[in-house]
Structure 1
């Protein structure tokens, strides 16, 4: 008989790691944003860099963090569904 499904403990671990990765990206984004804001740098290059950081780079990091968080939530839901199906 073939095994279909997942090891729920491994899925839960994966879920936790994905959500931790999301939190770490947000933490690093915040630290980098703070560092950029506190850097004494003036002029058009500084303005462009800060604008690019906010509109592109930080925004992309936010999207990645959100995607990891959602993937973690999905892995958790899949583990729960697997456990429910196994107990039927």
Structure 2
């Protein structure tokens, strides 16, 4: 992976932490917006995103000109079950 991609990838993860659900890993900003926020060219951002996806670090969920990523499956969803039974009404 290129040095440029290795530098941009953590910045993309930081942008993902700004999402309404910070654990979702979603970056729902356009390439233009990301470029402005990171003070890099759109070409540099797009190249880094393409390379990071190719290497398996991110997954594109949208084909529009927006970057929407999903985190790698390193977190397991918690099963939230009720521990107490509710009495049934008769």
The two structures have a TM-score, normalised by structure 2, of 0.27
Tell which structure's C-alpha radius of gyration is larger. 1
Relative to its length, the structure with more strand (as a share) is: 2
